């Protein structure tokens, strides 16, 4: 057996590779430079063009570009009307922002457990948590795989709930042929550099509902309106605008919009490459009892953002930390997505107990994300496969 690098053996590769990174090319740089020469470098024509482009890609009637994915979630939660005394059911395996947006509005996040095979929010867990105070659901397309819309949409309809889809991982994904972004009441995207396409920082909310759209647009810019029909004191004075809500400055710049427009043109290529890498990993790990491969539901045509390597504790003599450290020493640097949100100490102080979502906690204990991004070469992919196989062989438990 090959000696692991962590014990002084030769690493599988010389240069470290991380779990994700952006892919910026010359045309992206040119697009940004051109935007910088324009008359308006924020809230100008590129924002409108970007919003049209996002509507087209997602099939949603309206898109609102914002400063980042967290701002998108915050505005969506406010537009949904979440507030004091309300409960909102949230996936437990997600980035903290999916739940923080509920707290921002003064409502209470209630954490649902995950499906142990897909790692997405489990509709049965959601149903058990519904009370007369429940107002909505924040469901995350974890790793890019669409949530179980058939079940969630039925639950929302039966109980009058607002569905906010956190699609930070899922631009390019389709559910039963329909693009993510046009299915939930509101869908939130992030364009952070590790996500599938980037604007440096950036986000968007898509919706088909005109009322929600107007509210989102207003809240993005201080709650100020120029639309006379919305004013308490309409006048024909050309300078007059009126603040009618407490909003924010969550605008995206035209510089960022230019970068994102350029990146969105590459979405089909990025998406195809991600799918290709996922197929290679799935095939390489399929016959390894040490590794559990994420289940894909047939409804979701997934542009995968993360590749989850889930260890099978019954077939390994090591724990997650040892496996993680051994991979790092081979120069393949994983990351863990995510600590169940309610286990963050901030949430612990709010009174959420350990053991709340058993499937989420079991998932967390044995999982990590291995490199997945479109600029990976075939060599990078094969190095990653070799590193995983090498570490798994070393720690294999004889049964």
Contact map string, positions 110 to 149, toward ligand PLP, x by CB under 6 A: ------------------------------x---------
Q: Is 97 among the residues that bind ligand PLP (CB under 6 A)?
A: yes
Ordered strands of the 186-190 beta sheet: 62-66, 203-207, 186-190, 162-166, 134-140, 87-91, 108-112
Piece of the chain touching ligand PLP by CB under 6 A; list 94-102, 265-273, 276-284, 287-295: 94-102
Q: Name the residue nearer to ligand PLP (CB basis): 182 or 198.
A: 198
By CB under 6 A, residue 190 contacts ligand PLP: yes
Q: Closer CB to ligand PLP, residue 169 or residue 218?
A: 169
Handedness of CA 22, 390, 288, 93 (dihedral sign): negative
List, as one string, the DSSP characters of 98-138: HHHHHHHTT-EEEEEPBPTTT-SB-HHHHHHH--TTEEEEE
Q: Which of 51, 86, 115, 166 binds ligand PLP (CB under 6 A)?
A: 166
Determine the interface stretch with ligand PLP among 27-35, 46-54, 78-86, 91-99 (rule: CB under 6 A): 91-99
d(CA 20, CA 369): 9
Give me the least distance between CB of 339 and ligand PLP, in Å please: 13
Residue 4 CB coordination number (10 Å): 23
64 to 83, contacts with ligand PLP by CB under 6 A? 68-70
Partners of 332 in beta bridges: 17
Among 107, 168, 197, 370, binds ligand PLP (CB under 6 A): 168
Residue in 19, 23, 95, 213 binding ligand PLP, rule: CB under 6 A: 95
User: Which residue in the set 203, 247, 334, 371 belongs to the binding site for ligand PLP (CB under 6 A)?
Assistant: 203
Tokens of 34: 């051109």
Q: Can you tell me which of 22, 58, 94, 369 binds ligand PLP, judged by CB under 6 A?
A: 94
Nearer to ligand PLP, 149 or 390 (CB): 149
* Cα–Cα dist 306/72, whole Å: 21
Provide CB contacts within 8 A for 235, sequence distance 6+: 228
Q: Is residue 164 a contact partner of residue 136, using CB atoms and an 8 Å limit?
A: yes
| Residues at the interface with ligand PLP (CB under 6 A) | 68-70, 94-95, 97-98, 140, 166, 168-169, 190, 192, 203
């Amino acid at each position: 057996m090959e000696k692991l690098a962590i014990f002084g053996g030769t690493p599988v590769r010389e240069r470290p590779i991380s779990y994700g990174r952006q892919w910026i090319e010359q045309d992206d740089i040119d697009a940004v430079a051109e935007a910088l020469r324009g008359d308006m470098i924020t809230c100008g024509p590129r924002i409108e063009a970007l919003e049209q482009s996002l509507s087209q890609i997602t099939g949603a009637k309206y898109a609102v570009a914002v400063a980042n994915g967290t701002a998108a979630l915050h505005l969506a939660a406010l537009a949904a009307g979440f507030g004091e005394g309300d409960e909102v059911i949230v996936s437990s395996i997600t980035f903290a922002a999916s739940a923080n947006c509920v707290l921002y509005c003064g409502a209470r996040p209630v954490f649902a457990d995950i499906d142990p095979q897909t790692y997405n929010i489990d509709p049965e867990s959601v149903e058990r948590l519904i009370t007369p105070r429940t107002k909505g659901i924040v469901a995350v397309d974890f790793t890019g795989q669409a949530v179980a819309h058939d079940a969630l949409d039925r639950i929302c309809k039966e109980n009058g709930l607002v569905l906010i889809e956190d699609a930070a991982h899922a631009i390019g994904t389709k559910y039963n042929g329909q693009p993510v972004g046009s299915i939930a009441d509101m869908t939130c995207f992030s364009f952070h550099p590790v996500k599938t396409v980037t604007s440096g920082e950036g986000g968007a909310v898509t919706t088909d509902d005109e009322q929600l759209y107007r509210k989102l647009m207003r809240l993005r810019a201080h709650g100020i309106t120029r639309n006379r029909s919305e004013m308490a004191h309409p006048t024909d004075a050309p300078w007059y605008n009126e603040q009618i809500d407490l909003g924010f400055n969550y605008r995206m710049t035209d510089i960022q919009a230019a970068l994102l427009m350029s990146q969105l043109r590459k979405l089909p290529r990025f998406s195809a490459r991600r799918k290709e890498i996922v197929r290679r990993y799935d095939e390489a790990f399929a016959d390894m009892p040490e590794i559990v491969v994420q289940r894909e539901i047939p409804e979701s045509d997934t542009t995968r953002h993360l590749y989850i390597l889930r260890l099978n504790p019954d077939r390994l003599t090591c724990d997650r930390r040892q496996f993680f450290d051994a991979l790092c020493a081979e120069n393949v640097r994983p990351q863990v997505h995510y600590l169940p949100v309610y286990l963050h100490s901030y949430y612990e102080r709010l009174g959420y107990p350990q053991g709340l979502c058993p499937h989420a906690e079991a998932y967390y204990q044995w999982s990590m994300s291995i490199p997945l991004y479109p600029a990976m070469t075939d060599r990078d992919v094969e190095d990653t496969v070799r590193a995983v196989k090498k570490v798994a062989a070393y720690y294999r438990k004889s049964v």
